[in-house]
A and B are shown apart, each in its own frame.
Chain A
Amino acid sequence: EVQLVQSGAEVKKPGESLRISCKGSGYTFTNNWITWVRQMPGKGLEWMGRIDPSDSSTNYSPSFQGHVTFSADKSVSTVYLQWSSLKDSDTAMYYCVRGRGWVDYWGQGTLVTVSS
């Protein structure tokens, strides 16, 4: 069974750093890109970008370029989403999803709350 399991909810202060994770199982992890999707409270889905776990190639949406960083460790079938300095506006649910174009398997989401 294909699964993407994300790390747990986080509560942070503005300016703090954070890394959340997404671990894949049930398939060959390096055969599929992983896409990150943001959903702000009560809002729709936003495409953040994607990473190829086989070589850590990345594509970032211009809306997120420079503010987040994707990385991968294929030895543990895990990709990461990282912020060096969080803002209040980063409060959202973040999903990792398998796929480069259309995306099929979704993680359960990681809720990130940024508040002073």
Chain B
Amino acid sequence: EVVLTQSPGTLSLSPGERATLSCRASQSVTGRYLAWIQQRAGQSPRLLIYDASTRATGIPDRFSGSGSGTDFTLTISRLEPEDFAVYYCQQYDSFPLTFGGGTKVEIK
């Protein structure tokens, strides 16, 4: 099973700042089959990024994904109030599919 380790566990930032979230896989994720998912408090999750760097429909361009192999990054260029949430990475390269433990982006 591919273990996804997300860091940091919590990121304390102010609106307008840049957020950089990391997702490291225990083995190579081929085909860049990695997604990023946002979950706001009390809401269902929603897809942000798939195939490591493709934004899902309706996702603002301040969200970007990068990386390959075992190291992936989600960057939020300028934090908006609605971006304070928990972010998960998910790999869909190998079975069973797995999620990372999440990074909480909180208001500083």
Whole-angstrom CA separation of A37 from B90 in the bound complex: 12
| B44 in contact with A108 (CB, 8 Å) | yes
- Residue count of chain B within 8 Å CB distance of chain A: 24
Interface residues of B in 66-108 (CB under 8 A from A): 88, 90, 92, 95-102
> How many angstroms between the C-alpha atoms of A45 and B99 in the bound complex?
6
Q: Which of A7-15, A55-63, A74-82 forms part of the interface with chain B?
A: A55-63
With contact pairs A59-B95, A108-B44 given, residues A102 and B102 touching in the complex (Cβ less than 8 Å) = no
Q: Does A73 contact B (CB under 8 A)?
A: no
**A101 to B37 Cα, complex, angstroms:** 13
Of B33, B44, B99, which contacts A107 at CB under 8 A? B44
Asked if B45 lies at the interface with its beta carbon under 8 angstroms from chain A, I say yes
Q: Kindly list chain A residues whose C-beta atoms are within 8 Å of the C-beta of B1.
A: 62
Does A109 interact with chain B (Cβ within 8 Å)? yes
- Which bracket fits the contact residues of A? 20 to 34
B50 within 8 A of A: yes
A61-B40 Cα distance, complex, nearest whole Å: 26
Which B residues lie at the A interface, using CB under 8 A?
1, 33, 35, 37, 39, 44-47, 50-51, 56-57, 88, 90, 92, 95-102
Q: Please give 17 more A-B residue pairs, beta carbons under 8 A apart, in addition to A37-B45, A45-B99.
A: A35-B97, A44-B99, A45-B90, A46-B99, A47-B90, A61-B96, A62-B1, A62-B96, A63-B96, A101-B33, A102-B33, A102-B35, A102-B92, A104-B56, A104-B57, A106-B44, A107-B44
Mark A residues whose CB is within 8 Å of B.
Answer: 35, 37, 44-47, 49, 59, 61-63, 95, 100-104, 106-109
The 3 closest A-B pairs by CB, nearest first: A101-B92, A102-B50, A61-B96
